[in-house]
Amino acid sequence: MREALRFLGALLLGLLLVGGAVGLGLFLLLQGEEALGRELLRVAGERFPALLFVGALFVLVLAALLYPLFLGYLAATRALGQEAEVLLANPAHRLRLRGPFELQALAGLINRLAAHREALEKEVEARVREAKALLEGERQRLAALIGHLPQGVVLATPRGQVLLYNAPARRLLGEGLGAGKSLFGLLDRGLLVHALALPEERFLAPGPKGLLQIQAVPLEGEGGFLLLLEEAQEGGGPEGATLHRLKDKLAGLKALVEALGSETLPEGLKPLLRTARATAEELSALAARLEAPPRAAEVRAEDLLSLLAQALEREAGVSPGLALEEEAKGLLVRADTYALVRGLAATLREEEEVFLQGERAGGLLRLTLTLPHPIPDPHPSLEEAVERAEGSLWREGFRLHLLLPAREAPRLPPREGPPPRAEVFDLSLLAIPEELEEAPLEGLLYTAFDLETTGLDPEKDAIIALGAVHLLGRRVLRQETFEALVDPGRPIPRASTEIHGLTWEMLQGKPRLEEVLPGFRAFLEDTVLLAHNGAFDMAFLRRAGVDQPPLVDTLLLSHLLFPDLQDHRLERLAERFGVPVLGRHTALGDALMTAEVFARMVPLLRERGYRTLGEVLRDCARLPLAGLRY
């Protein structure tokens, strides 16, 4: 409609100019020829309907001839402008010289400017590479050091977002671990907060793949923390099971010895009975020495009271009063601090006023909790925590007493000079906002994914390959990928095999889809989905039980950025943005290509005024293509 109005305005202006020129010419020719002028006016008056019809016909024919040319000129101009925008993301792209001569000349000039800009950018990049050479060497040494550590190592922000990790950490924490994801979804948040308060201690924590031993070390300032991970074994593991069987057999042997001792035995068997009793006692002592040590660490009495107060405020919503006698200061108290905190929080959850006092009692620390009313029954988890530390507890009216083993802390010589600074490397990560709709486009963690299927019908066909890669803002994390082939349990049509190259013989023996999906879900967790023509892929995933909106679709983004261009296929977008077309029609290859294309689309979206994910999705939803359903 806008183009039609512009054309009518241009046509009217042209007619006015032509009519004015004709009228001025007639006026000049008829100067001094009054009789001829009157005759012309008479004839024009008599033939006015015919002249009006001829004029209207002339205008219509002229408009019919000029309108396609006008629209073509406008479309060529718009297409030139939209394709020129690609140069913002890919300076190596060159405009095609097509359309009217003046547009070809303009495209040639733009290409020359783009070549000049590309040369300048290459020069800047060379200088930046030179300036970063030393820093890159340090980073490589750091990566090599972390990569060769047998322990799992995770570097995280103060909010628990992962910045860096090594292969052992990925093995211990599973597919859910990834740059930009939250550790709090994999490990207990309360335990991590508690471990940060005791950086020198190790704690047992349930992980996604089993029991872990963790140590959290806060970095200087607001630099986040370092998490060290190792496998741990519970008493129910292989060593615990062996010890349990040994103790069970020993109990049977003791029972047999006691039963025989109560019987009247011949004199010849009594030495044998004494030997059996001595052997049972020796085995009991050996089993006691083999018993796994309690999960307890030593913590200073001052730190213990401070930890308990902070944890009670966090877990139970009560702020206790504190008092620690002078003689108890400096004691090292043995306790599983996390279990003790959880037990006290469960016991005092309904309380509003608590007073906590610490006193020395020989080689023990006595913790006394005083309430304004009789003490409730201690929670079983509190009793277990105290028993694990080889302590005891009892109630006495308004007081609850806990006795915990303690010893004098060794006196250390004073440290000379300031403490050493932790070496902090230039690693940056934009935090994921709570409101996804208002999140900046370059501040999100995306998962670009693609599927290969046996056909085009989500109701009848099956998934045979999944590929995905993480994308942090505009940075493609090629070290964080997911790839799996799936046995569909049925033959694959030849037409589909000709596209992706997968046959049923190649997939037989591969995992079924239900075996692959848990790892794929973990890889997608806490990310924004990204795909090309994603409506097709999401139809298959929804049928498999995976539905995680929103979805950013590069096909819709291409229509949003380049509405007048005709070809929006993934390989054409890759060519336009200078992305190598590798592994086309393989799940991981297409996912990587989609990620690279999106990374180059972000600057163009920013130039168009899009800042947040919500703004982009709202405008994509208005496109006619967004209504497509599979």
Which residues have a Cβ under 8 Å from the Cβ of 100 and sit 6 or more positions away? Answer: 73, 76
| Nearest alpha-carbon partner for 551 in 562, 542, 563, 561 | 542
For position 588, what pLDDT does the model report? 92
Three-state SS letters, 2-43 = HHHHHHHHHHHHHHHHHHHHHHHHHHHHCCCCHHHHHHHHHH
How many domains does one find in the chain?
A: 4
Q: Residue 303: phi, psi to the nearest 5?
A: -70, -35
Report angle CA 305, 311, 314 to the nearest 5 degrees: 145
Rounded distance, CA 348 to CA 323, Å?
18
225-231 and 297-300 as β-strands: parallel, antiparallel, unpaired?
A: unpaired
Same domain? For 610 and 494 the reply is yes
Q: Answer whether residue 1 is part of any domain.
A: no
Q: Answer whether residue 379 is part of any domain.
A: yes
Omega of the bond prior to 550 within 30 degrees of 0, cis? yes
For position 597, what pLDDT does the model report? 93
Q: Answer whether residue 207 is part of any domain.
A: yes
Rounded distance, CA 536 to CA 312, Å?
51
CATH number of domain containing 435: 3.30.420.10
Same domain? For 480 and 550 the reply is yes
Rounded distance, CA 629 to CA 41, Å?
67
Residues 548 and 534: beta-carbon distance below 8 Å: no
Residues 227 and 216: beta-carbon distance below 8 Å: yes
For position 627, what pLDDT does the model report? 61
For position 101, what pLDDT does the model report? 67
Per the structure, the complete domain to which residue 285 belongs is given by 241-260+270-291
> Which residues of 17-161 form beta strands (DSSP E)?
152-156
Same domain? For 282 and 313 the reply is no
568 is catalytic: no
Same domain? For 461 and 594 the reply is yes
Q: Answer whether residue 26 is part of any domain.
A: no
pTM of the model: 0.54
Q: Answer whether residue 522 is part of any domain.
A: yes
For position 267, what pLDDT does the model report? 67
Q: Mark the ranges of the chain whose per-residue pLDDT is less than 70.
A: 1-11, 14-15, 17-20, 22-37, 39-41, 43-45, 48, 51, 54-55, 58-59, 61-76, 98-101, 138-139, 142-143, 221-222, 232-273, 283-297, 409-436, 626-630
For position 412, what pLDDT does the model report? 44
| Residue indicated by tokens 């402008």 | 81
For position 529, what pLDDT does the model report? 92
Report angle CA 423, 425, 429 to the nearest 5 degrees: 135
Q: Is the dihedral of CA 416, 422, 423, 424 positive or negative?
A: negative
